Structure 1
């Protein structure tokens, strides 16, 4: 026996022992059994007789068995990488769920009287703003001021583990506006934009009736969005409610902003960002079948019954793809609204970098094709 055969034989024994350990811990499925047990047995046989290896692979039209071993090894490596990635992703989901639920329970257990003793006095009280916040001490205060000045009085603010003075700014704003229903949900650690939205969505889905609201409003904390566009949203809602007053099943379920419709106004959008968003529109159409002109929109007005159909699991910005997919899958009726977006040097640096689009595309392909 050559030294190489000895090394291969020892590797095969380790392979089989590893399989036995997995079997005892009940961490195996049928595919694992086949790969580890049958694969280990074949390695032992081939280690003892190299000609047997060559004869076996010549059956598949390959002259040298070692060549196909390389191909098979690459395939198995890819499979186990995806398997490990799936487990890691599920662990991340579980951690986010725990942090999200903890933030919701902590607030409600101490502040539920703020909801139950509140009365709806104005049409704008039918709307609740959901705002995810991460390290926005410089911008979020002005955003809250604009919303208050526009007459809206219900906000859910999700502080996603900010490391700057954001939480203090939110608390100061709550004191500044004592008549506002300002719900501050605090993540103990940063989990990402999708995770923060997950917390806001889940809180409003669960307590929407107690909040006495009819509509959810997705809004950003970096100053890009213009709360004055809510007038346009509300005009469409009024018109549609009147038009379909006798046909409930035809009323729109949600209203989506768009930067690319006639009548929209976009200040200082870089050309590269326009190209990336155009590609995102095309990819969304191909992968999810949703014909949405601005698929990575954050300004959404969603009816409470429709909001309760959404399930967000992504920690990062892939959550927008989850929303688009569920709009298509659940046959939700939507209308796109032209809006006014203000790109500033601060907002462009703060949120998604153009380079993050590649990461987002990779995550989309992984979630669509390989995650289970």
Structure 2
């Protein structure tokens, strides 16, 4: 079959076979992985749950992994990463994603407002090391906050589907009860399985007026909370996904307890090493476009856009590798790690690298 596809691909040159197949149906492909939206739900305010049917190239996902979804908005392709909420699968072509419409989130708001059955999106194979290990641990603690619920929900649903006999605690932080996605299912799982414990917390900032009284603050993650929900946490494997403050709070406690190897985290926000614009020097040259500008210290992607270029990009946080370009010469600094790189003719991700002095990028 592969040989036949290669032959047809040759005959359809210069355009790939999939360009012709999509004229018949956008979801019909020979090589490229795509998915069709089959169902859309807005059960939770500010979020949308999409059911997708992937093309035959889909090979499933491990609980906790993420996929890249690509959509075209105003003629420009954008890619973002979302975690399936389904139980771990190896063959089922249906995938569920719950997407929170973040303020200023281009793709999340587009999906929230415009996704409907029949819509076709680009899809990449599942990726990421944030996943339930094999064999399963004897005790599992799942901690999430906000939209970080999605990968750990997949883990919980996987353990439920496998009739997991160990101890599980699922602790989720949300602004209010109605903001918890799939709460009815979580309740049903906890009711059905006595070894599964599901807890919710709704943090209140100090000074907030609640029921006519000024709160001193409650509902935040700390050591006492950890002891309450999972006193056996030192013997468990812990998986956490959520806002940076929650991630840091969990990591700090586990570090203090010497349990760094027992906590695993996933986040889709970009944590950068700050760049001081006042210290930026040199000129950034985009030699492929014969454009040059004074270095501002911003990510090279942003500097390219500032001079009118439109390089391809996806996640803008160093995950999807859509914005990879060749650094012809000069030194760059990785904004996530602070690492310097002066090797010439090297592929770099321009969304998470900035210039250190004169740099030439082949864009």
| TM bracket, shorter-chain basis | under 0.3
More helix by share: 1
Bigger Cα Rg: 1
TM-score calculated relative to the size of structure 1: 0.24
- Greater relative contact order structure (CA < 8 Å, 6+ sep): 1
TM-score calculated relative to the size of structure 2: 0.24
